[in-house]
Amino acid sequence: MSLPKNFLWGGATAANQCEGAWNEGNKGLSNADVLPFGKDRMTVIKGDVEVFEPDQTHYYPTHTAIDFYHRYKEDIAMFAEMGFRTFRMSVAWSRIYPLGDEETPNEEGLQFYEDVFRELKKYDIEPLVTISHYDLPMHLAEEYGGWKNRKLIGFFKKFVTTLFERYKGLVRYWLTFNEINIMTSACFMAAGLTFHEEDNRYDIIHTAVHHVLTASAWTVKIGHETDCENRIGCMLNAGVYYPMTCNPVDVKMAQDENRKHYMFTDVQVRGYYPCYVVKEYERNGFAIPFQQDDEEILKNNTVDFVSFSYYATRVIGSDKSGEFDSNLLNSARNPYLQIEPWGRHLDPLGLRITMNDIYDRYQLPLFIVENGLGAIDTIEEDGSINDDYRIDYLRNHIQAMKDAIETDGVECLGYTTWGPIDLVSCGTGEMYKRYGFIYVNRNDDGTGDYSRSRKDSFFWYKKCIESDGEDLD
């Protein structure tokens, strides 16, 4: 048995991590533009401090990123050289609607993305577009309080209507909200939320959750009505939680933690809040802020497929000692797995387990839209970059994916690595933490000429795609 015909191999990026040009083309300020590099970054990401504009004391890596805005033709040509069948990218809301609440869109921003999509089509590369990828017009956070304000549903509906109408026939695959479950921890980065001491943090977060879930359903409705060829998916930060021991207490804790994340896709796939969430809300005195036709919209506009990122599994149990931050989510140490420098467990089999877990739950096609290894790359004297560690990581994870598809019968549309080209790390803001098959000469201090060069993994992934995943040596 082999992979499905027309399996979508490719790579994945996000506008705020690669475009740069933060104040060009009439683009407005976004929440991503005020995330600083360094020790203050995480407090801003979580919404623990209000920051509404850049200052002179911090460096903001997304302002220039890797300059994809001016270099996309060069980058897409290199993706085509690898044999990409799809390229996942996002659109910056503030490039289309600079403030987010305008009546009319910014034509210069619309034209930029049209040019990118047409460049992809030139090479028969299918765009896979994330509509909201940690990228919110700053005006909507400062003036309206981010997604806690119901008015953002209306602004988002206008935004997605503009996208679907303008790019009809150019884009067929869409994702609504990137890693939607991360909004409960990375509150400012994912939802434009900030908090004061007197705030009821739980109520604010879960009000925002409802508004985002409702906006996602509206996106499905508008997308399907605009073009029946559109296929629209949700997107989950995945990777199952293992119980620390076989103690039933630990097993129950793992179940509860997994449910915290699956609740988002439960609503997006099934069209209603699961009973365990309803009961949790009751215990916390929170009433879901249903209005108008929310319940009907959720019920009748479920997604076509489930996409997800996978980097690691995590561990939870009653013994909290030794817990650490594993890329915005806490985990205990798994003694059976190696761990990379940024705190993620290396668990290829966990990808197969996660795929089966999600597919068993929903029976919808899956799409792995992020999987990759952030690492420190060294340029040799001859200019080569020998990243065998990245090749090993991808080989093992692709094999696990194939086992899930070919042995377990999981339906999967495609696989896009994060990221095919070095870009700004979301969690840390680093360039030092490199993911790409393509090296970008850009450093954490802002130096570098942005030149591109091919790593050893570039040629390996090219061979992998050519063989449809059969040649992984």
Encode burial over 18-47: b for 16+ CB neighbours within 10 A, e otherwise.
bbbbbeebebbbbbbbbbbbeeebbebbbb
Q: How far apart, in whole angstroms, are the C-alpha atoms of residue 50 and residue 40?
A: 12
Q: Given the residues 370, 380, 406, 411, select the one marked as catalytic.
A: 370
Kindly state the helix (H) or strand (E) to which residue 348 belongs, with its residue range. Answer: helix 348-362
Write a three-state SS string for 252-315.
Answer: HHHHHHHHHHHHHHHHHHHCCCCHHHHHHHHHCCCCCCCCCCHHHHHHHCCCCEEEEEECCCEE
Closest-CA residue to 100 (of 51, 45, 42, 162): 162
Closest-CA residue to 113 (of 86, 101, 99, 131): 131
**Residue at 275: amino acid letter:** C
Cβ neighbours of residue 315 under 8 Å, at least 6 residues apart? Answer: 241, 242, 243, 244, 331, 332, 333, 334, 345
- Please give the C-alpha separations between residue 321 and each of 66, 249, 339, 395, in angstroms, as whole numbers: 39, 16, 17, 33
Neighbours of 454 (CB within 10 A): 18
Give the 3-state secondary structure percentages of the chain, helix then strand then coil, rounded to 5: 40, 15, 45
For 256, half-sphere exposure in the C-beta direction (CA atoms, 13 angstrom radius) is 11
Q: How far apart, in whole angstroms, are the C-alpha atoms of residue 56 and residue 67?
A: 21
81 in active site: no
Q: How far apart, in whole angstroms, are the C-alpha atoms of residue 303 and residue 71?
A: 33
Encode burial over 176-188: b for 16+ CB neighbours within 10 A, e otherwise.
bbbbbbbbbbbbb
Q: Given the residues 19, 119, 179, 430, select the one marked as catalytic.
A: 179
Tell me if 185 sits within 8 A of 131, measured CB to CB: no
Tell me if 129 sits within 8 A of 175, measured CB to CB: yes
Cβ neighbours of residue 11 under 8 Å, at least 6 residues apart? Answer: 79, 84, 87, 88, 416, 417, 418, 419, 420, 421, 437
Q: How far apart, in whole angstroms, are the C-alpha atoms of residue 371 and residue 420?
A: 10
Neighbours of 445 (CB within 10 A): 10
370 in active site: yes
Tell how strand 86-90 and strand 8-12 pair up.
parallel
Residues taking part in catalysis: 179, 370
